[in-house]
């Protein structure tokens, strides 16, 4: 299965600032996803990152708040913009590889103060 | 509606005891089913997955799961739990055979937190 490198692994940010999270995959993948895991909660899909086109956002998530880039088939970024304490979560990228297996990055633990 | 239910929020077992974590799903099409484990502060690691065929699937770390279509269940089991198994376990369902379509997302259960007593 694909190996994902996600960084940063954690960060503490001031409210009102933005953080960009990177996800690098060791092989070309068609489907990349970004999830949010709020404290004590399960995972919620933010968006599907599409190569060469705009990301597809789930209900409740908007591009202005969570802009996503997908410049090629091995890389994507998620930006959390104008952060507030409510954005404190773990953010995970995921890829759908061959054999229909979903692999996850190790996550970015974000704390907004 | 598509959903995954993990009825047990928190389970405590003694080391060496057997374990069963429950998962029920509601899905309109043929599902792919997954179990993931998350250690504190870590990402998700795939334990096992079911796509088709034998309904009893073997995974890593001695885990297995059985798909029961009639019960819409995919329970995770381990015959003898080790202290290192303490973690949170997530069941997830995804679209079977629809990759490349509009519904590739995984739907996760709320998780079961496993504690292991010495």
Sequence ranges of the domains in chain B = 3-117
Kindly report, residue by residue over A26-73, the tens digit of the pLDDT.
999 888 999 999 988 889 999 999 888 889 999 999 999 999 999 999
- What is the percentage of chain B residues whose pLDDT exceeds 70? 92
Q: How distant is the Cα of B43 from the closest Cα of chain A, in angstroms?
A: 4
The reply to whether omega before A17 is within 30° of 0 (cis) is: no
Q: What is the set of domains in chain A, with CATH numbers?
A: 16-112 (2.60.40.10)
Task: Count the neighbouring beta carbons within 10 Å of the beta carbon of residue A75.
Answer: 16
Q: What is the DSSP letter of B23?
A: -
Q: How distant is the Cα of A31 from the closest Cα of chain B, in angstroms?
A: 8
**Chain B residue closest in CA terms to A107:** B43
Kindly report, residue by residue over B25-40, the tens digit of the pLDDT.
998 777 889 999 999 8
For domain B3-117, say whether CATH 2.60.40.10 is its number.
yes
A61 touches chain B (CB under 8 A): no
CB–CB of B95/B32 below 8 Å? yes
Residue B81 has pLDDT above 80, yes or no: yes
Position A90 scores a pLDDT of: 94
Listed in order, strand segments (DSSP E) in chain A are: 4-7, 10-13, 19-25, 31-37, 43-49, 56-57, 68-72, 75-80, 89-96, 102-104, 108-112
């Amino acid at each position: 299965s694909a190996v994902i490198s996600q960084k940063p692994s954690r960060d503490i940010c001031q409210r009102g600032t933005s953080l960009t999270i990177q996800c690098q995959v060791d092989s070309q993948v068609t489907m990349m996803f970004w999830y949010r895991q709020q404290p004590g909660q399960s995972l919620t899909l933010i968006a599907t990152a599409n190569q060469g086109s705009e990301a597809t956002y789930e209900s409740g998530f908007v591009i202005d708040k969570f802009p996503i880039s997908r410049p090629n088939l091995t890389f994507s970024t998620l930006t959390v913009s104008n952060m507030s304490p409510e954005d404190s979560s773990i953010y995970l990228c995921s890829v759908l590889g061959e054999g229909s297996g979903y692999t996850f990055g190790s996550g970015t633990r974000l704390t907004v103060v | 509606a598509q959903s995954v239910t993990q009825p047990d929020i928190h389970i405590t077992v003694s080391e060496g005891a057997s374990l069963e974590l429950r998962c029920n799903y509601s899905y309109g099409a043929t599902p792919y089913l997954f179990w993931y484990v998350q250690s504190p502060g870590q990402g998700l690691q795939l334990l096992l997955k079911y796509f088709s065929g034998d309904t009893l699937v073997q995974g890593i770390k001695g885990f297995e799961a059985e798909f029961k279509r009639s019960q819409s269940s995919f329970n995770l089991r381990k015959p003898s739990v080790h202290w290192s198994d303490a973690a949170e376990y997530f069941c997830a369902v995804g679209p079977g055979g629809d990759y490349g379509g509009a519904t590739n997302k995984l739907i996760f259960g709320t998780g079961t937190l496993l504690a292991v007593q010495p």
